[in-house]
Amino acid sequence: MDDLVFEDPPAPRKTNPAYEAVAEALRKRPREWARVGAFPSASMIACNIKRGRPKVFEPAGAFDAVSRKVEDETVLYVQYVGETKDSEEPS
């Protein structure tokens, strides 16, 4: 336990501005798939988006995302499906 250091954690990272632009564009065209780009971890990114992470993709389930192998790349596709009654905050 010699490596134990007492300190406050750093501030949370801000959402990538590119994700904000993607979420905004998808909300303007619901239920249309968009190719977001090729990423080494596209399947993990897709899982996180469906769970509403990062925050710009909240609430969970408002976006659908999949990864597909296209030639030598793993490509991320995302669509805005809308918020369900279950995902809305109670009034």
Q: Which residues of the chain register pLDDT less than 70? A: 1, 84-91
Q: Determine the Cα–Cα distance for residues 65 and 45; give it in Å rounded to an integer.
A: 8
Residue 15: the pLDDT is 74
Residue 86: the pLDDT is 54
Return the sign of the alpha-carbon dihedral for residues 44, 41, 53, 76. negative
Residue 1: the pLDDT is 64
Q: Determine the Cα–Cα distance for residues 26 and 10; give it in Å rounded to an integer.
A: 31
Residue 17: the pLDDT is 82
34-48 pLDDT, tens digit per residue, is: 999 999 999 999 999
Residue 25: the pLDDT is 97
